[in-house]
Structure 1
Amino acid sequence: MRAKRRKMVEEEDVHPDERWMASYMDMVTVLMCMFIVLFAMSTVDQDKYEQLANSLATGFGAVDAGMVDTAEGVVVPADLVDNKGESPTEVTHSADALDPAEATAQALANAEAATQEVMKLDQLEIAVTANLTKAGVADLVEFHITDRGLTLGLVGSETFFAPDSAQLTAAAITVLDAAAPAFVATAQKISVEGHADKHGQSATFASDWELSASRATQVLRRLVEQGGITGGLISAVAFGSAQPANTGSTVADMAQNRRVDIVLLSEQPDSVRALIPGVAAEN
């Protein structure tokens, strides 16, 4: 009987299956990690808190896993990362950023291009003026160099258009026919821009818009049909009375608003054209 009891005691002291200890150790490890995290968060930093929340959410599958931009602490989807491991923001910044030497070189190149463009426009003005002088109508045209290019202003008291009329006067025809050869030689794009004095509806035109459009169209047709300008290089625009040359109310002031501007457009990029007025003012 005693031997049998001793054998039972020995069997109770043996624990062949101790797998529960592995689970216990895992639980203790997790608890330790949790308390370490809680201790680290005892002083809350909002940015670090959000980064930690995002990281935990990703780790537990709440957010689709992607590549983490360690510099910013945000999740970057894998399909938006190039083969060098750069995020789109990094790629854009590296492509757009210019070092001081490159920026200086670009500024000098733009200034040189603007200078060359002003010289080109000056030569064009000289050529047109020479033709107008031969025709005896040089004093009827005003020249302006702007960031858009060279503008020829057909302005004058009933010189080019009679009141409430889009029909070209004899002086207007002389000016256009004299200037056209220089336009053809330069092969630049041309914008013909019609303007009118503010008088509202009339018996001939429903509004200033129709009047200014008709004036611009008449100038365009003369340059194309008689002057030889290629149709694909020229366009007509109507401004009505929205851009008056003179805001006065006298008869002479109103007459200055009955005009057409012929703009020989610069084809330089915006960064170069922005410098043209300053360069032109220095010449």
Structure 2
Amino acid sequence: MIKKKRYNEHEEHVNEGWLIPYADLLTLLLALFIVLYAMSSIDAKKYEEMSKAFSTYFSSGSGVLSQSGIIESDMRMDSTVNVKQTIDRSITKQINTLVNLEQIDLEKIQKKIDSFIQTSGFETKIRTSLTKTELTIMISDTTLYNSGESVIKPESRAIVMAISMILEETEDYNIIVAGHTDNVPISNSEFDSNWELSQKRALRFMDILLQNNKMDPERFQIVGFGEFRPKTTNTTSEGRAMNRRVEVSLVRRFVIDKQL
């Protein structure tokens, strides 16, 4: 009688050990493409979205092999976490570098404006402020306008043009021109409210800035806040005078989490 040859089941089983390095390779390639994309065009919003996407992916426990149920490996999970941490550190480092460079640039612009203010003797009329969101130039309304009017005084147009010459060197930043008033109700035939007065003053200010043909109109927007964004109290004449102002703000491209 012919005996049937018995085969060892393990001899027919395919060695699946290659799947571990293959899965790691796919993960690293994915990370590489994401880093290259981030380096080509990085901003804070994109980083936040990217970080959330990675957090969702890596915390879900799903991977290249988990759905098929072929293999689960603590080594692969450790590698995945390390890749995410490496990407986060790399992108964070890039953003911090951009934030620091922007801070240096805005400080130079502020010094140039402050020098103009001091040289021109406008210390009581024009001030600057650098915050975590913007560099702002604040001009008192009495420097620019007669009471209840939106037309800039002829003798003050030179101040606005001087500011525009400084701003023409700041093409990397968008600019917001904002009008503010005190809380005393407006009462004339031209304006029905402080909203209208503040907005019209901002518009007239921007119009003069844009007479400089080196200024790009697409960088600008205007807003009128009326009496609703006071710098100080409206209970004194000095406070009301400080609240009546025009602000020109260079908006940061990279918003920082804390004051530098």
Q: Provide closer, same or farther for how the CA distance between residues 233 and 111 of structure 1 changes in structure 2, counting only shifts above 3 A.
A: same
* Residue among 249, 252, 255 paired with 1:263: 249
Q: Please name the residue that 2:153 is paired with.
A: 169
Instruction: Give the counterpart of 2:183 among 189, 198, 201.
Output: 198
- Aligned pairs for 1:84-233 within 5 A: 99-155=84-140, 158-169=142-153, 172-187=156-171, 188-203=173-188, 204-226=190-212, 228-233=214-219
Render the CA deviation track for 1:155-190: whole Å, top value 9, x for unaligned. 36x223332221223564232121111111121221
CA distance in 2, matches of 1:96, 1:260: 50
Aligned to 2:259: 278
Bigger CA radius of gyration: 1
CA distance in 2 between partners of 1:85 and 1:112 (Å): 38
Q: 2:228 aligns with which of 237, 242, 253?
A: 242
| Superposition misfits of 4+ residues, deviation over 6 angstroms | 81-85, 95-98
Checking the alignment, whether the CA contact within 8 Å between 1:191 and 1:265 is kept in structure 2 is: yes
- Normalised by the length of structure 1, the TM-score is 0.57
TM-score computed with the length of structure 2 as normaliser: 0.62
Shift in Å at residue 146 of structure 1? Answer: 1.7
Are the aligned partners of 1:132 and 1:175 in contact in 2 as well (CA < 8 Å)? no
C-alpha spacing 1:191/1:261, structure 2 compared with 1 (3 Å):
same
Instruction: Please state how far the C-alpha of 1:231 moved relative to its aligned partner.
Output: 1.4
3-state DSSP class of the match of 2:238?
helix
- Mapped partners of 1:210, 1:96: distance in 2: 55
What displacement does 1:232 show? 1.4
Question: What do you get for the CA RMSD once the two structures are aligned?
Answer: 3.2
How far apart, in 2, do the equivalents of 1:215 and 1:97 lie?
55
Contact kept in structure 2, 1:166 and 1:215, CA below 8 Å: yes
**Count of matched residue positions in the alignment of Structure 1 and Structure 2:** 188
Contact 2:148 / 2:186 at 8 angstroms: preserved in 1?
no
Aligned in 2, Cα 1:96/1:264: closer, same or farther, shift over 3 Å? farther
List gaps (5 residues or longer) in structure 2. Answer: 1-59, 69-79
